[in-house]
Amino acid sequence: NYIQEKLLVDFFAIKGNLMIIEGLRSYIKNNLEFFKDAEKIKILDVGPAIGAISTLLVLQLLDEFSLMDKARVYLLDASQRVIDKTHDGDFFYPTSILKPGLKDCIIKKIRSSKAEIGSIEKTVWPDNLFDIVIAGFLFHHLHRDIKPPAAKEITRILRPGGFLGVAEEWFENYGEEYAKYHKNDQIPLAYEDIISYENLSFMFPSIHVFFTYGTDYKEHSYTFCGTKSSE
């Protein structure tokens, strides 16, 4: 059972991040002249986990458009260990989904990233700072009271017209089945407050969603990508 569940969760994580990249690819194509003219492309990865896989994929995509040199990476995580190991390059570089030839360039960008330790509902950054914000499997780790201010803060620091990519896991019967089944595990479950696509997207009223994936299944991950409306 553990192996089956691990495979399912890992599939959610990889597929969700890859779908964010598909949404971002469409966004960059439609805004390519803006990015070619931009001096910098500021990217924020919220809750990156060790290795910041979402950011690695974003950087690889930017390289497809000859834009990686302009990328400026920012990381926000509640864990100092996550930031330290990511900055040190002490993580697995998955060559099954990332080009081996880009490893040195991508790791260099990660090592030079600016990082903050804290939670997303209150950040140090000014309004409209970031061009791209990624939240890969973040929101189910936030308490339900934190989710709305977190969404509001993400919207605040994303520039008008900027890109937001969100991926989440979703178990329709999480509380009734999954969590109860695992309540006596030797290693407790991480804190999770699962939220549906509809409820989470409702917390981003200023975001125009243009890409979705996986919202029609009872047990799945889901992804949505959008742009911030002009203010």
At residue 7, the pLDDT reads 77
Count of CA atoms in the C-beta half-sphere (13 A) of 86: 30
Strand-pair category, 219-228 with 207-213: antiparallel
Are the C-beta atoms of 39 and 70 separated by less than 8 Å?
yes
Count of CA atoms in the C-beta half-sphere (13 A) of 184: 1
Computed on alpha carbons and rounded to an integer, the radius of gyration of the chain in Å comes to 17
The whole-angstrom separation of Cα 231 and Cα 210 is 18
Torsion angle, alpha carbons of 195, 196, 200, 205, to 10: -160
At residue 70, the pLDDT reads 98
Q: Which long-range contacts (CB under 8 A, 24 or more apart) does 146-152 make?
A: 146/119, 146/121, 147/193, 147/195, 147/200, 147/203, 148/203, 149/121, 149/122, 150/119, 150/120, 150/121, 151/200, 151/203, 151/204, 152/121, 152/203
At residue 217, the pLDDT reads 57
At residue 219, the pLDDT reads 56
Of residues 131, 197, 136, 203, the one with CA closest to residue 160: 131
**pTM score of the predicted model:** 0.92
pLDDT by 10s per residue, the chain, length 231: 667 777 777 888 899 999 999 999 999 999 999 999 999 999 999 999 999 999 999 999 999 999 999 999 999 999 999 999 999 999 999 999 999 999 999 999 999 999 999 999 999 999 999 999 999 999 999 999 999 999 999 999 999 999 999 999 877 766 666 667 667 776 666 678 889 899 999 999 999 999 999 876 555 789 999 999 986
Measured CA to CA in angstroms, residue 213 lies from 12, 71, 195, 220 at distances of: 11, 26, 15, 10
Summarised one tens digit per residue, pLDDT across range 106-129 is: 999 999 999 999 999 999 999 999
* Helices and strands of the chain, counted as H and E runs: 8, 7
